[in-house]
Structure 1
Amino acid sequence: MNRFFYSALLYLLSPLLIVYLAFRAIKSPDYLGRWGERFGLTRLKSTDLLIHSVSMGETLAAIPLIRLIQQSHPELSITVTTSSPTGSAEVRKAFGGSVQHCYLPFDLPWCVNRFLRQLSPKWCLIMETELWPNLVAIAAKRGVRLMLANARLSAKSAAQYAKRPKLSQPMLQRLDVIAAQTQVEAQRFIELGVSPDRVTVCGSLKFDLSITPERLANAKLLRQTWGRETSPIWVAGSVHPGEFDAMLTAHRQVLAQWPDALLIIAPRHPEQFNSVAQVVAAQGFESVRRSENQPVTPKTQVLVGDTMGELLTFYGAADQAFVGGTLIENGGHNPLEPVAMGVPVMVGPNHWDFAQITQMLADAGGLRIVGSAQELGLNLIQYFETPSQRQQAASAGLAVVEANRGALQRQFALAQSLIKA
């Protein structure tokens, strides 16, 4: 399939995009609004630099890089786009009115053309692997210089690109700069046809996650507020449907040994907040919802983390964590977040989106890979039984984070070279 047939197929399927937005809006009202942005219909100001940061995870990684660019180039106007409401919320919280913000339009040629014609950017930074054939092709045709920042490419994604070389190869070859997270991923880009002189290994921006003393203090204060300074606490973060039952099964194992244990379960997507609360209640757990400001009492067994922007604080208030999207075939989420907050972490076997980071943490002893709810429960119990072992794992994880910092400066240097070229 080449780009012509890809675009034709998108046009044929375009009515389904409305269905998709309507379906997402049923579960998450945030998808109800701003549809004009999704189709490039919103009036926008021209901009110097366009940065696409996708969803919440990519946006959190991009924020320090964007701030460095703002500090070094205050004369530049910047537009930051996302694809999800959670990413949008992070952009607005971090930058307010200092950047122009909107959703990135669907990759329909008409929408992308109108969008880029209004913005008329000179440069474009795309985070991680959010590559769209028409966006890249039309931007390159308009003379926009393109950088793929914090680039990751799993073996699975590389295989998908290799199956469609007429679509993927021209897109990848139009990128002027690729800041790959690892040497393995850099090699995958090169094997797909990217010139080696356009690929630089920079490490992951996620290692440069900045944890302020204030956030750590707030996490400890939150635990004190709950009256759970000595109770076992663990977090199931960024979990998906298909993992809810496993988390609760593991927690039953923990409760059998420590009746005062607390599980904080935080779904990945806001549209799952009600679903997980219903599952928890249906299984008979004593639970409260964070969004309702209900007090955590000595009887509370599960706290439903149904708020945005608090997951890092939850990690810091806990003794250990599980990162979701890994017991199902999803690819996983960032295990460095709990590690940076000083807790050991567990993930399931399906962590290919963070394979290198996961392996580094596992090799150092800061992370364990579990294959089932039963195995998760046994590992949780072992760490609760041996605080010294748990602290050793936490320290090992923090050492990996510290040893791999520096990606921010390396990627900023590449962005500088792009802007000055």
Structure 2
Amino acid sequence: MIWPLLYAALWKLAPPLIGHYLRRRARKQPEYLQHWDERWARGEPRADDAHGAIWVHAVSVGETRAAAPLVAALRARWPDKPLLITQMTPTGRETALSLYPDACVRYLPYDAPDAVARFLGRYQPMFGVLMETELWPHLIAGCRAHGVPLFLANARLSERSARGYRRAAGLIGPALASLDGVAAQSEDDAARLRALGARQVAVCGNLKFDITPPPQAAALAAQLRQWRGERPLWMAASTREGEEALLLDALPADSPAVLLLTPRHPQRFAEVAELLRARGIPFQRRSNNTALRADTRVWLGDSMGEMFAYYQAVDLAFIGGSLLPLGGQNLIEPAAVGCPVLIGPSTFNFAEVTRLALAEGAARQVADADELHRTVATLLADPDARQRMGAAGLAFAQRHRGATARTLAHLLGCVGEAVD
């Protein structure tokens, strides 16, 4: 019983610490100062509050995009129900507003019991879907108390995360056991979740395989190809802090190729621009909407929502978050449009997807920045190899589609009687 008591005590002390955290984050991203009332489910009711809604929680950008095919399936199943989408980050909120313009978009309140009760009392969702690994014990307990069925979708749990959860098994175990169902990405994810206490676990695959490029991506990709001209162009996608310096310091001075560098977090665009200036590397910003200059060596991808267009415009893509021990990022999107994929040594967040992509010839793995640049040079000089990797990527992405239908079927089996 000690873990639940400690957790509840923590939330009594948390508000001033969270206020300090949000103000600190706002130094780089002022949007963190907005909508504070939602973070504690306070404030007056609003005209667009969604009552009795289909509720989907996706913490940030990646999870919000991954939810898109499932959201479409849920809305097709219950076309007359409103949609409530919650996030924890400003970029996630912006993505949700773009993808779901008719939805009620809010921040999920922090996991203080009174905030959870206010949130559930205000919106009274028909049921809730938590994306990936969003396990908030008070929220889960509050849903159980309010009679709101709660389902974990696209669930993944690395061995590294599982070790941490096992140390707090007295808190996490009851939370997982209180979920009405879990759709896991892989057998390994399912086994780890069951071992921690989850019930009604089914392996449904990864929803990200079911995402399709937005219609405007092809036109933007054509424009980017026109702006690049005849020069080779490769991409370092979703890079994290520390990785850009490794990539830039190893950048070959005599390479004719241009690097399209896209940091994972938009609040770091200016920081990465300073890294380029400090190294004297000629660069230009994607946001300037101009063709590449003859002397440009790095194109800074300082935009949001254009990753599919980038992947269709470049010759190959390296997936960030994998050079340092950060677990990697999503490699499904480039594979799905036939873009050859390179990945670094750290892939624990996408272990199963990476294993399959490597086995099926859709990706290659490198050990460090120097090997990455050598592999890029080799592939840029070998269009046949790139074509084979691209074709393997298309086949890989197509082969693993279908998670949406499996997830919906499992959700209906777990909570259908309670919501129909």
TM-score (norm 2): 0.94
Question: In 1, are the aligned partners of 2:183 and 2:204 still within 8 Å (CA)?
Answer: yes
Q: Give unpaired runs (5+ residues) of structure 2.
A: none
The one of 312, 315, 339 aligned to 1:343: 339
1:275 to 271, 282, 286: 271
Runs of 4+ in 1 over 6 A off after TM superposition: none
Give the 3-state SS of the residue equivalent to 1:131 in structure 2.
coil
State the alpha-carbon separation in 1 of the partners of residues 192 and 411 from structure 2. 22
* Superposition map of 1:165-184 within 5 A: 165-184=169-188
Residue aligning to 2:95: 90
Is 1:224 matched up with 2:226? yes
Deviation string 1:135-170 (CA, Å, 9 cap, x unpaired) is 111111111111101111111111111111110100
Aligned to 1:248: 248
Instruction: Determine if contact 2:287/2:301 at 8 Å carries over to the other structure.
Output: yes
2:237 corresponds to which letter in structure 1? G
Q: Secondary structure of the residue that 2:322 maps to in structure 1?
A: coil
**3-state secondary structure, aligned to 1:101:** strand
Question: In the alignment, which residue of structure 1 is the partner of 2:411?
Answer: 415
Cα distance in 1 between the residues matched to 2:339 and 2:54: 37
Counterpart mapping for 1:1-400 below 5 A: 1-42=2-43, 43=45, 44-96=49-101, 98-195=102-199, 198-211=200-213, 214-227=216-229, 230-250=230-250, 252-253=251-252, 255-258=253-256, 261-400=257-396
More deviation, 261-270/212-221: 212-221
Deviations 1:150-198 (A, max 9, x none): 1111111111111111101000000111001111111111111223xx0
The one-letter amino acid paired with 1:132 is W
Any idea what SS the aligned residue of 2:67 has? Answer: helix
Give the C-alpha shift of residue 412 in structure 1.
1.9
Cα distance change on mapping 1:232 and 1:40 into 2, 3 Å = same
Provide the C-alpha distance between the structure 1 equivalents of 2:291 and 2:12, rounded to a whole number of angstroms.
51
CA contact (8 A) 2:58 2:64 kept: yes
- Deviations along 1:338-397, whole A, 9 cap, x unmatched? 112211111221211100000100111211222211011111011011111111111112
1:81-111 Cα distance to aligned partner (Å, 9 max, x none)? 0111121112111221x22110111111121
By how many angstroms is 1:217 displaced? 4.3
Instruction: Please give the per-residue CA displacement for 1:249-276, whole angstroms capped at 9, x wherever unaligned.
Output: 34x22x5242xx1111111111101000
Contact 2:227 2:290 in 1 (8 A): no
- Structure 1 vs Structure 2 CA RMSD: 1.6
Identity of aligned residues (%): 39
Q: C-alpha offsets along residues 113-134 of structure 1, whole Å, 9 cap, x if unaligned?
A: 1111111123110000011111
Count residues with an aligned counterpart.
412
Equivalent residues of 1:288, 1:295 under 8 A apart:
no
**Which amino acid in 2 is paired with 1:193?**
G
Task: Classify 1:122/1:2 alpha carbon distance in 2 versus 1 (closer, same or farther; 3 Å).
Answer: farther
Unaligned runs of 5+ residues in structure 1 are none
